[in-house]
């Protein structure tokens, strides 16, 4: 399974979780089957508008099935849902801890947007 985690920096499993999906500087793409991690730069983070939708397309193109983030805005939520990407809220401070919490079934699945678009 491929999991995307919003990340503030590029430090592997020790990367700090970013609390905002669309404007997150990086996404940690974790393949739980192979225990591999790849951090990719979010090219949509500096977009003047539509960052959430563009970020949703970016992680969808990576084959992601699950997103772990602090918040997801309404347009991003719709785009992720239409791509069959399940969203979970994490309050963990590192990517590694967030993935561990997900694997241990400790996170709540998002059933509606919980963020507001950021300018």
> Taking 70 as the threshold, does the pLDDT of residue 119 lie above it?
no
Which of 38, 2, 114 shows the shortest CA–CA distance to 69? 114
> Taking 80 as the threshold, does the pLDDT of residue 116 lie above it?
no
Which residue ranges make up each domain of the chain? 2-109
Mean pLDDT computed over 51-59: 96
Specify the pTM. Answer: 0.94
CATH code of 2-109, in short, is: 3.30.420.130
Computed over its alpha carbons, how large is the radius of gyration of the chain? 12
Helix (H, G, I), strand (E, B) or coil at 40: strand
Q: What is the pLDDT of residues 28-44, one digit of tens each?
A: 999 999 989 999 999 99
The structure tokens listed for 8 are: 């503030």
């Amino acid at each position: 399974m491929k999991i995307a985690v919003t990340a503030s920096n590029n430090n592997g499993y020790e990367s700090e979780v970013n609390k905002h999906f669309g404007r997150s500087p990086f996404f940690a793409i974790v393949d739980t089957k192979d225990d591999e991690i790849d951090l990719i730069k979010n090219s949509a983070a500096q977009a003047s508008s539509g960052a959430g939708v563009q970020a949703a397309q970016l992680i969808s193109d990576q084959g992601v099935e699950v997103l772990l983030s602090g918040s997801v805005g309404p347009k991003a939520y719709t785009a992720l849902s239409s791509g069959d990407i399940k969203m979970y809220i994490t309050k963990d401070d590192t990517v590694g801890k967030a993935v561990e919490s997900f694997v241990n079934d400790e996170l709540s699945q998002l059933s509606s947007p919980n963020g507001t678009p950021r300018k």
